Amino acid sequence: MPLALYALAAGAFGIGVTEFVIMGLLIDVSTDLGVSISAAGQLISGYALGVVIGAPLLTIATGRWPSKTVLLALIAIFTVGNLACALAPDYWTLMGARALTAFAHGTFFGVGSVVATGLVAPNKKASAIALMFTGLTIANILGVPFGTWLGQAFGWRATFFAVTLVGLAAFAIILLLVPRRQAAPEASNLRADLAVLGRAPVLLGFATTVLGYAGVFAVFTYIAPLLTEISGFGEAAVSPILLVFGGGLIAGNLIGGKAADRWLVPSVLGSLVVLALVLVTMTLALHSQVLAVLYVGLLGAAAFATVAPLQMWVLEKAEGAGQSLASSFNIAAFNLGNAAGAWLGGIVITHGPGLGAITWVAALLPISALTVAALALRLDRNPALGKPASARS
């Protein structure tokens, strides 16, 4: 794999730390800024909303820029946003700085996915995407725990100063290692790019991503209460168990990438089937502490085994013009799935059937994603059905 892919992974690492480290610093932020825990928690929602809004806007705005220039600009936004977080004097300034940082997220992974596939042979494209996303998985295993410790020991602002330094390092690495040969096609224009998004197979690809990943976050958002209230672990055991989840993320990410290189459609369908099976059987496994730890790792593996296949699937359906925009929209779809899954899990807890039912209810989401994927495959067999109505007429 080219060194440039590791440069992209470095950027993904920094973005991953920024996205998730706030979860471990909510108490520190709420105390320092004088807001409630629930208000501090909205910093997570604000970030997710920034990803969903920023991904298409920035991708459209930079559509004619060379890809390397886009990546450097995004890392610059990311770095400035984290510095603004560290210096934020109040809650709303911090919220705005988080949203600014999030704007870089979707476009970085969207454009980065296209760049990654252009750096390798055709039979290595999904593995290239998976390697870039490895930075995100390592952020969960190493970056987030270290950032949480740093923030608790020296104040939450220290964590954002540290991530600012990571952004500077990522900027330098991308500047040195990513070649300039990836440029936006001259023939590309906004109308053509948006026309790609109107294709039914592309829209169904987005829907598959949203539903599949909603199933993951319906459970993962509430993993701490699941482990403490159902499995019977103490609160101190949750963090070490989440390291098992992180290990599963790395394994699933790499396996999903390699599988998608050889069998893309079977990998999409198979990863969703595995995710649904893990969620269904996890309902019983949580009542055994040994099995609960095992299934946390399996959940991580099943979750990220879907990422490279789903991202590659959307890229193939976008084919040609509009790939960067479609790729960025699919990253936004992952984040929309995160938010939808967390909301659904909360509904299950608050209005029934309760915490213990989250896993099997969550399994219905990847099963729904399979139905959508099957419809997309039907359109592949009859391409005329997948064209916009204007094109068919």
Q: What is the pLDDT of residues 35-69, one digit of tens each?
A: 876 677 678 778 878 888 887 888 778 877 888 88
**334 or 159, higher pLDDT:** 159
In this predicted structure, the answer to whether residue 291 has a pLDDT above a threshold of 60 is: yes
Give the pLDDT band of residue 184 (cuts 50, 70, 90).
Answer: very low
pLDDT of residue 389: 46
Fold of 1-184: Growth Hormone; Chain: A; (1.20.1250)
pLDDT exceeds cutoff 60 at 129: yes
Give pLDDT tens digits for 73-87: 999 999 999 999 999
Q: Tell me what pLDDT residue 280 has.
A: 93
Q: What is the pLDDT of residue 118?
A: 81
- Per mean pLDDT, which range of 180-189, 262-271, 283-292, 351-360 is the poorest? 180-189
Q: Looking at the whole model, is its pTM more than 0.75?
A: no
Which pair of tokens denotes residue 141?
């295993």
Question: Is the preceding peptide bond at 309 cis, omega within 30 degrees of 0?
Answer: no
> What mean pLDDT comes out for the span 239-256?
83
pLDDT on residue 83: 95
Q: Where in the chain is the domain with CATH 1.20.1250.20?
A: 1-184, 188-388
**Residue 294 pLDDT > 80:** yes
Does the structural domain 188-388 have CATH classification 1.20.1250.20?
yes
- Write down the pLDDT at residue 319: 67
pLDDT at 259: 85
- The whole-chain average pLDDT of the chain stands at 82
Model pLDDT, residue 9: 87
CB atoms within 10 A of CB 388: 13
Q: Which two tokens stand for residue 218?
A: 């319906």
Among the listed ranges 47-61, 91-105, 354-368, which one has the minimum average pLDDT value? 47-61
* pLDDT tops 60 at residue 385: no
* pLDDT category of residue 390 using cuts at 50, 70 and 90: very low
Measured in whole angstroms, how far is the alpha carbon of residue 297 from the centre of its chain? Answer: 18
Q: Which of 275 and 374 is assigned the larger pLDDT?
A: 275
Q: Looking at residue 299, what is its pLDDT?
A: 92
Q: What pLDDT is attached to residue 104?
A: 86
Do the beta carbons of residue 246 and residue 232 sit within 8 Å?
no
Please say whether the beta carbons of 342 and 217 come within 8 A: yes
Tokens of 313: 């699937």
pLDDT recorded at residue 320: 60
